[in-house]
Every structure is written in structure tokens, then in C-alpha cells.
Structure 1
Amino acid sequence: MQLSKEDKLKQINEVCKHTLMETLEISITDFGDDYLVAKMPVNERVYQPDGVLHGGATAALAESVGSFASHLFSNLEEVFVRGIEITANHLKSVKNGHVYAKATFLHKGRTTQLLDIRVTDDHDNLISVCRLSTISLPRNK
């Protein structure tokens, strides 16, 4: 029986229990054939000392959504996925609301993947542009 998109999202978010994603209240909200979207609330849990979204929290959101996309679109019976490098260019500050990260593949190779991750706010303003490279390594059977 094929799971509905809503049931798949529920299943995906269950895997995030007891992880950094739960600590930062990151949830996966949408996915398609070549993208994955997550959101994170902007509040005192993710502030830097002057009361705006911490760049490290933004990078954690970006790496979470990008890594999860690589996992979701890989055959996890054969490989496991690890992040190799992340870059983040922060363009605008956010004080409240939510930020949304959309990961899309620039390269989906058998061994390496490169993802573009755009982080926006509630008003669709571009907050950060991130790149994540991941690697798929064979599982020992």
C-alpha cells in the first residue's frame, strides 16, 4: 500500500525525534521528486546574543534539510550518507516567525551529491544561500 504524502511526512518527522532537529524544532514540511522543504521557528532558542537568528542555527537547518534530501533520494539499504562540506552566505536578519529551507539537487551522483539550499522567511525574503555536498558510502553487508 502506497503511503499518502501526509503519512510520509509524519513518518519522516518521527525519525527526527531525540535529535538536533527536534531541539531546534525543525520539521520537514514538503517534498517532491527533486526537493525537500523544512521549517524552523525563530525565537530565543536560536538567537545570537543581539536577538536575531544565529547563523549557526541557519546552517544547522540547511544541513539538516540537505542531508535529509540526500537520504530520502538514496537507496539506504545499499549506502549511508554523510555531509562533506557546507557553506552559508547570510543575507538578511530575522527576529521572529519561521525560516524555511528548500534543498534542491545541483548534482545527484552515485557517490557525491551537491545541493543548493535557499533559506527564506515568512514573507519569502531570501535570508541565506547555502551549498551542501554529501557522499554516499557503501554499507558493509
Structure 2
Amino acid sequence: MAATVNRTSVEDLNRANIGKLPEHIGLVITEVAEGRVVGRFPVRTELVAHTGFLLAGAVLSVADILCAYGVSTAWPEGASGFTTAEVKCNFVGTLREGEVVCTASLLHGGRTTQVWDARVEDAATGKLMAAFRCTQIILYPRG
């Protein structure tokens, strides 16, 4: 694993949510550690599909946001940015009401790539709703 540094906190990430999609979704970051970010959001009418169930896009968005935030917890030395190369999500459950908790964890932290997993669960029962994985390409200054 490449030498990394944590460049963020719960407060920093909740501030970053303001005025952007995470705030609209209602995402609140509850935990930040090296290689790990946890957040929660309530199931609200605006996030429910015509079928009466939570929109898959809301779940996928939160998982992607938390994994992207996670890059800042394991920032490779000398890196200047990152971009998403691939995402995959398997949905195995949903909600009509309640609260969702999502935990993003670093699976692989190399100098040029990071692979993140996110587990999306019903906050009340711990039942798995979705398993998400993404690959981030780490960017460095040219020159």
C-alpha cells in the first residue's frame, strides 16, 4: 500500500455536503477514519420511486459519494486528484421508510488506483440493501 495521509474529518465532509447532492439527499457523515467513511440518510418522499420503494439511484449515489469521500482518508503522497473509473452495484433489498446507513471501506489502496467497497443497510435491522464497488484512478501533477 502506498504511503497515505487522512486529509478530512466528519466536520469537513458534512461541510462539503452543503448545497450539493449529498445535502439534498439528506446524507449526514457520522464517521471518518483512515480507509473508512460512514453516513446515514432518511428515506423521504423525494427519494421514493413511483413504485413506493427507495430509488436505486439514491442508494447508488450515496455509496459513490462515500467512497469518493473515502479517497481523502487514504490520500497517496504527491497525488493531486482522482477520478472514478468503474462502479458496480448489486441491489438485494430496499425500504419504504426508515433510515439507511452506508459504510465505505478501502479494499485496495495503491499508488495509482484505489478500490472501495460500500455496504448499504437498513439502519434499523442491519439488513443488506446493496453491495457497491468502485475503482478510483489516482491523479498526479504532470511534469
Bin for the TM-score computed over the shorter chain? 0.7 to 0.9
Q: Which residue matches 1:103?
A: 104
User: How far apart, in 1, do the equivalents of 2:50 and 2:90 lie?
Assistant: 20
5 Å-filtered alignment, 1:1-141, equals 8-74=9-75, 78-122=79-123, 123-139=125-141
- Which sections of structure 1, spanning at least 5 residues, go unmatched? 1-7
Residue 96 (structure 1) shift: 1.0
Q: Which residue matches 1:3?
A: none
What secondary structure sits across from 1:48 in the alignment?
A: coil
User: How far apart, in 2, do the equivalents of 1:33 and 1:85 lie?
Assistant: 22
Residue 77 (structure 1) shift: 6.7
Q: TM-score, normalised by structure 2?
A: 0.86
What secondary structure sits across from 2:114 in the alignment?
A: strand
What secondary structure sits across from 1:87 in the alignment?
A: strand
The answer as to whether partners of 2:29 and 2:37 remain within 8 angstroms in 1 is yes
The answer as to whether partners of 1:84 and 1:134 remain within 8 angstroms in 2 is yes
User: How far apart, in 1, do the equivalents of 2:83 and 2:106 lie?
Assistant: 15
What secondary structure sits across from 1:104 in the alignment?
A: strand
Q: Partner letter of residue 137 of structure 1?
A: L
Q: Partner letter of residue 22 of structure 1?
A: E
- Aligned-pair identity (%): 25
Q: 1:49 to 1:77 in 2, by over 3 A?
A: farther
Residue 32 (structure 1) shift: 2.1
Q: Which residue matches 1:4?
A: none
Runs of 4+ with deviation above 3 angstroms: 75-78
What secondary structure sits across from 1:110 in the alignment?
A: coil
Q: 1:139 to 1:44 in 2, by over 3 A?
A: farther
- Which sections of structure 2, spanning at least 5 residues, go unmatched? 1-8
Q: TM-score, normalised by structure 1?
A: 0.87
Residue 38 (structure 1) shift: 1.1
The answer as to whether partners of 1:71 and 1:81 remain within 8 angstroms in 2 is no
| Higher mean displacement: 44-53 or 57-66 | 44-53
